[in-house]
Structure formats: structure tokens, C-alpha cells
Structure 1
Amino acid sequence: MGAAGSKLEKALGDQFPEGERYFGLENFGNTCYCNSVLQTLYFCVPFREQLLEYYSNNKSPADVDENLLTCLADLFSQISSQKRKTGVIAPKRFVQRLRKQNEIFRSYMHQDAHEFLNYLLNELVDILEKDAHTSKSNQESSSPSEKIDNGPNEMSVNGPQNELIVTWVHKNFQGILTNETRCLRCETVTARDETFLDLSLDIEQNSSITSCLKNFSSTETLNAEDKFFCDECCSLQEAQKRMKIKKPPHILVIHLKRFKFIEQMGRYKKLSYRVVFPHELRLSNTVEDADAEYSLFAVVVHVGSGPNHGHYVSLVKSHNHWLFFDDENVETIEESAVQTFFGAAQEYSSNTDHGYILFYERLVCS
């Protein structure tokens, strides 16, 4: 990437951020789905910093078995410690581990970036939880004077029996939804909480993320065959149900459901709908009255007209600059260019570059 790297450095000039690295990732046949997601996670700064901290605390090869977490930490460390500001890195070790661990990603067919992101985050959580349980067991079996330091932000325990592990992946991405069901006979409200690492939203033509979120939290009436069993009434009753965000996450990941199964066709179809995603987002469908405000910092884009073929690229905001990552190639783009990835205003359009996964960071009120 000599010429391309020089071009990027020249484009940023003296505005090139101190200590930052912009590296493309080599594609191993069909790994654009992986590369695009890895770039967005690398420029999710809190996640990157905590991953590198984990790496510095656990890089003794004799003590740590290789897994997706160690491979990802090693890759991020390679990028951040490069002497050059730009270039290309081959995430070979990470991809090999991914393919070894999950047969879905072994084939050279087109893969889904959201499916990969979901798998990766859940896998990282599982590894960190196991690490925390192991550390706690070792700590309990050692003498009181031999306390084991698990590092910062690693573990939270609720009581001796009911153990709750809160990893730094949770602290970045996890939010809580509450599912409220109101019996229309006795007015009793039943609430059930569930955690999420991302929100998958149904989309409509010429809509916006705000309207998609409102639809996500819209009230649904349960009647006829879908009546709700009310514990107070001890019988099936008509009810109203709605989903709201009880605890907004620090990093809000929004997945747009662009691939829909069409029964008449017997296959999935890509929805190229135009869905506007703003740079600044205000979450109003929260349990608390106070709105949560977010700023867009990354977008995974699906390029192509169908679900079974195509390409993935990513847009990233770093130090107030927007960058375009396409596997090995990295270049700067204008902020106004982000809107070209909203989607097509008409069904039949030559534009096949559509925002697919959006990353927002919560703004901290001063």
C-alpha cells in the first residue's frame, strides 16, 4: 500500500492524528465481511483501549490458550504499534482461528457481517466470563493474603450464589430492553427485562432511524388467538404490549434488516430502501424521561443487489475525519458523502451501497 498510504498521509497532512494508525486489512478470498467489522471495532476507541489493556495484562503465551479474544487483541496490538502511520496488515491468525472455531465461516461463500459481529461479541463475552470464573475459583482456593488481580472493569459479583459477570464488552455494548404487557381488563402491567448487544430494526422505504426506533417501540394489541395470560385475572385476556429501552448502552449498535425472506419467491431479497441515519441521534423510546444522545462514528456498508453475493466496506469517523475502508485500501471522504449510503429512494436504482450496521457512541452530558 505504498502509494495509497502516501496518498492518505498527504491528504491528511499535518492534520494526521498523533499516535493514530490507519491500516487496511488483507482479504483472504471472501473476508470483507470480517475486515469491515474489525475496522469499526478498532475505531470504537473504548473497546480498543480495553482490549489492548487486556492484551498487555495477558500476553504471556504460557498462560493463555489461543482463542478469538487473544487473536483479536494481537491484531489490534499489531496495528497500534506500527512504526508507519499507514499500510496493510494481514489478519491471518484471526481469520484462521475464526474458521477453525466456526464452520459457518470456513466456506468461501458470501458471509453476513451482522452474523459475524454477533458471533464475535458473544464469543468474547464467553471467554471473558470463563476467565473471570477461573480467576475467582483460584482466588477462593488461595489463602486470603494471596489475592489475584483480575485487572480493571473485569468482574462484578452479586452474592455468593447468584453470580453476575460484567465484562468490558458488556460495559461498552450491552443495554437493557423492557417488555411491558398491560392487561386491558385489570390494567396490571407485567414487565420483563432482557439484555441486548445490538438492536435489529425493521425498515421501510424513505424512512429514518428515528422512525424505525419508534416502530420498534410501538404498542401492539394482543387479541383473538394472541391473547395474553394474565396472572391477576388467571385467564387469557386482551392486552397491549410494547418494547422500550430501559438502559441505553454506551455504544449503540443498530442493525438494519435489509435482507427479508419473501415467501412467494422462496428466498431472501435485499431491501435497498432509503433509510436516513443522522450523525446525531436522540433516543426517545427509553423508560426514563431523559433522552439519550448519540453520535455516529462507524457504518458497515453492504455493496450489491442481493443477499448471497456482494461486498462489505466500512466508514469510520476518527479524530473528526471520515475514512473509507475497503479491505486493503483506505482513503479520506467528506462527511457529506456519508449520506450517499442511506439507500435508494426508488426500488430500481443503480445505487447498491447501503448502510447495514450503524455504530453510535453515547454523548456524555457535561
Structure 2
Amino acid sequence: MANETCQPIENNCGCSSVTRETLIDLRLDIEEVDTVPTTVESFTKNKKIEFSCERCKTQGPFEKKLLVNHPPDVAVLHLKRFKNNGLIVKKMEKHRHASLYSMMLLRNFLFSEEIKYNLHVVIVLSGLPISSGHYHNFIHCASNKWYKFDDEKVDYVQEYLVLAEQT
């Protein structure tokens, strides 16, 4: 469950808007950040938006903030690796180097308590152009054992191969 709040920046009308929704995943922009925790922090930071208050009719800049009320048992993070300007879709080639076994420690900026998540699956889109890419995934099945699933083919792979993927 997530709350999105909008508060006026330049006036003190006292109005605020709260939108509640259930999040299935967090869609994280990776263009200007280098680690997964920093992408989550960027996702939840205050953002300035133009907004029109229906109650007091104030038009102008408001501050928007995403707050996650209840941490999920399973966190699904979608790293947005494509940039779309309306004409061209471009794939951003960036490595996300992280510890595979304690990758996710979401701190107070997301929840009131620390929540630790372990990485179990990495899904990779390979190939260009985007419209004809191919998906394969890596699954962590046991201590230090990763498997690559590519259509009907399943192979044991070393951890360094998982880390070497463009994620």
C-alpha cells in the first residue's frame, strides 16, 4: 500500500491531497543513479509538480511525495532501462553491480523500520532493437547456486556471470 501526498509549496491554504494505491512493483529510474538503494531513495524523494487544488482553486507548484505504508513480503523492482522521448526509444546500457545476497536493505526513507530483501531472480532483456529483444532470467535456488533459464534451456552459472549482465 502506498500513499502519494501533494502539499502546496508557495501558499499556506492548508489543502492537501492524498492518493492511496496498491503497488505491484516499484518502477525505478536508473539514468542518474548508480545503486539500487539510491534508485529507491530517488523514487521516494519530494518532487515539485504543477497542480490545481480543487478545494481552494490554488494553481501552482505543489510538493509531491510517495510514502509506502506497508512493506511487501516480496519486493519487485523494475529498473527502467529505456528512455522514450516520443519519437525514439533508447536502451540505457548501465551495470547495476550489487551484492546478490543482501542486495536490498530499504531504510527509513521507505519504511519506518529497516526491511531486508534478498535477491532471488534477475530478468534480462538482451538484444537490440527493443522490439525484437529476448528475455532470459537467472534464479538463485540455493546457497551460491544460480541457474540461467533461457526458453527451454536451463544451465548452472557462476555468480560472476549474473553480475556481468546488463540489468
TM superposition score category, shorter chain reference: 0.7 to 0.9
> Residue in 1 aligned with 2:163?
339
Which residue type is aligned with residue 339 of structure 1?
Answer: L
The one-letter amino acid paired with 1:242 is K
Residue in 2 that maps onto 1:147: none
Q: Which amino acid aligns with 2:106?
A: L
CA shift digits 1:170-214 (9 cap, x unpaired): xxxxxx121011223335543221112112111216611111111
Q: 2:114 corresponds to which residue? A: 291
Equivalent pairs counted in the alignment come to 161
**Counterpart among 204, 214, 217 of residue 44 in structure 2:** 217
Say if 1:179 and 1:242, in contact at 8 Å, map to a contact too: yes
Matches within 5 A, 1:86-125: none
Q: Percent identity?
A: 24
In 1, Cα distance between the equivalents of 2:163 and 2:57? Answer: 52
2:92 maps to 1:271 = yes
2:34 match: 207
Please state how far the C-alpha of 1:237 moved relative to its aligned partner. Answer: 4.7
Structure 2 residue aligned with 1:239:
62
Instruction: State the one-letter code of the partner of 1:203.
Output: I
Q: Per-residue displacement from partner, 1:63-121 (whole Å, max 9, x unpaired)?
A: xxxxxxxxxxxxxxxxxxxxxxxxxxxxxxxxxxxxxxxxxxxxxxxxxxxxxxxxxxx
- Report the counterpart of residue 196 of structure 1 in structure 2: 23
1:311 paired residue among 134, 138, 162: 134
Amino acid at match of 1:328: E
Which structure features the higher share of strand residues? Answer: 2
Structure with higher helix content: 1
Alpha-carbon offset, residue 275 of structure 1: 2.8
Task: Please tell me the root mean square deviation across aligned C-alpha atoms, in Å.
Answer: 2.2
SS at match of 1:308: helix
Aligned counterpart, 1:43: none
Contact 1:204/1:275 (CA < 8 Å) preserved in 2?
no
> Taking structure 1 as reference, are residues 267 and 239 closer, same or farther at Cα in structure 2, changes over 3 Å only?
closer
Sort the Cα spacing of 1:188 and 1:292 in 2 relative to 1 into closer, same or farther, 3 A: farther
Per-residue deviation at 1:244?
Answer: 2.1
In the alignment, structure 1 residue 325 sits paired with structure 2 residue 149: yes
C-alpha contact 1:183 1:230 (8 A) present in aligned 2? no
Which residue does the alignment assign to 2:105? 282
Q: What is the aligned counterpart of 1:251 among 74, 77, 100? A: 74
1:330 Cα deviation from its structure 2 partner: 1.4
Q: Please report the TM-score for the alignment, with normalisation by the length of structure 1.
A: 0.40
Helix, strand or coil at the partner of 2:94: coil
Alignment partners' CA distance in 2, 1:206 and 1:238? 25
Structure 1 CA distance for aligned equivalents of residues 162 and 132 of structure 2: 23
SS in 1 for 2:22: strand
Alpha-carbon separation, structure 1, partners of 2:133 and 2:8: 47
Deviation track 1:50-72 (CA, whole Å, cap 9, x = no partner) reads xxxxxxxxxxxxxxxxxxxxxxx
Q: Which has the larger radius of gyration?
A: 1
After superposition, residues 5-20 of structure 1 pair within 5 angstroms as none
